[in-house]
A = this chain, B = another copy of it.
Amino acid sequence: MKLTVAEIADKIGQSFEGDGNVEISKVATLSNADDCSISFLSNPAYLKEVEHCKAAVIIMREQDKDAAKSAAIIVSENPYLSYAQTAQLLYPAHTPEAGVHPSAVIDTNVNIHPGASLAANVVVEAGAVIANGVVIGAGSYVGRDVQIGLETRIEPNVTLLEGVVLGARNIIHSGAVLGADGFGFANDKGSWVKIPQVGRVIVGDDVEIGACTTVDRGAIGDTRIGNGVKLDNHIQVGHNVTIGEHTAMAACVGIAGSANIGAYCNIAGDVGIAGHLSIADGTTLTGKSMVTHSLKKGVYSSGLPVQETGEWRKNAVRLRRLNELFKRVKKLEDNS
């Protein structure tokens, strides 16, 4: 896809300065750009790279624009957002032809819109409802009574188990598993007795779910993911978890059963969240945090950054006697 600077600025609703007729065919970082590229300056730390940037056009804020030597600039108060919108224009998602590949195995009792595209070896079970514009990649499995909303994209080798409901414009990445049983067992004198997991997974609109991420079905009620939620890879969402709208989670987060995560939260990589608690809207958790009780809105941490191992081991050993040290200091204070 090629667009002129003027066309891009018009479509993303921003103004431009300089030569609007230059044709742009790709995005690039400030340091790798050439005269067919559009680049952007979002983080002021990279301002000095702007001077030598060979891009045809740079998206940048009004206050930074004097630094640019490019043929043109697009002025935006949010260059990163404008870049996202531009990249969507230049790289439209590959949309395969509508229709069902002859190798797909489709139950007779399904409702598939003729505008949907089902690739090779897709399997669709009875009762499934697949809307217009849905794209399902090769080898993906659509279980009984699954519903997939308008223009949702299921990448290859995804597993959607019985009763999963997906809204519109979702993207579900390869290896993701939605609707597997939650981890529920009752203990009978040491042995574990399975508790049937009879709830579903209900996903809103505009949700993205990463590769190898798992969202378990509810034990009794449903597991629910709100509109606009973005989940990275290798995330575990336990049964009956709820995640509020527009919350984003980085990779490897684990959420135990029945946790309620608020809206507009930012949860960094490898955070662990215990079950049966609530995290308020707008909460931020930094990497490797462990949450064991409910949290009101705020920014929280418990991850420890690395230290040289020899020093670290001495400190880690001492940590095991920290309670004792507090008592010793108290005693010194009492005696001083």
A residues sitting closer than 8 Å to B (CB atoms) are: 26-29, 32, 78, 80-81, 83-85, 87-88, 90-91, 93-94, 101, 103, 105, 119-121, 123, 137-139, 141, 143-144, 155-157, 159, 161-162, 171, 173-175, 177, 180-181, 183-188, 190-196, 198, 206, 208, 210-212, 214, 216, 220-221, 228, 230, 232-234, 236, 238, 246, 248, 250-252, 254, 256, 264, 269-270, 272, 274, 284-293, 295, 298-323, 325-326, 328-329, 332-333, 335-336
- Chain B residues within 8 Å of A284, by CB: 309
A156 touches B156 (CB 8 A): no
Report the Cα distance A285→B270, complex, angstroms: 17
Question: What B residues does A173 contact at CB under 8 A?
Answer: 177, 180-181
B residues near A232, Cβ cutoff 8 Å: 183, 236
Instruction: State how many angstroms separate the Cβ of A140 from the closest Cβ of chain B.
Output: 8
Contact A196 B87 (CB under 8 A): yes
Contact present for B101 and A103 (CB under 8 Å): no
How far, in angstroms, from A254 to B269 measured CA to CA in the complex?
A: 8
B186 lies within 8 A of A83 (CB): yes
Give complex CA distance A300, B292 in Å.
16
Give the CA-CA distance A180 to B228 in the complex, in Å: 19
Task: Establish whether residues B139 and A214, one from each chain, have CB atoms under 8 Å apart when the complex forms.
Answer: no
State in angstroms the CA–CA spacing of A325 and B85 once bound together.
51
Q: Inside 8 A of A299's CB, which chain B residues have their CB?
A: 308-310
